[in-house]
Amino acid sequence: MNQKLKKTIIFVTHDQDIARFAERQIKLKDGLIIEDSLSRRSNL
C-alpha cells in the first residue's frame, strides 16, 4: 500500500509477531538505533 500511494507508514510495537509484517524494522535500545534491517517476509 505505501509503495502505491508513495506514503510512509510508521508503527511502533514490542510484539515480534506484529513487527514481522513490516518491510523494514529499526530496533532501538535506550534511545539509540541498534539494528536497521529489511524483513525477509513475502508480500502479503
Nearest-angstrom CA–CA distance, 22 and 33: 17
Would you state the pLDDT for residue 41?
59
What's 1-44 look like in SS3? CHHHHCCCCCCCCCCHHHHCCCCEEEEEECCEEEEEEECCCCCC
Would you state the pLDDT for residue 27?
94
The structure's pTM equals 0.66
Would you state the pLDDT for residue 40?
67
Would you state the pLDDT for residue 21?
87
For 1-44, write each residue's pLDDT tens digit.
667 888 888 889 999 899 888 889 999 999 999 999 987 655 55
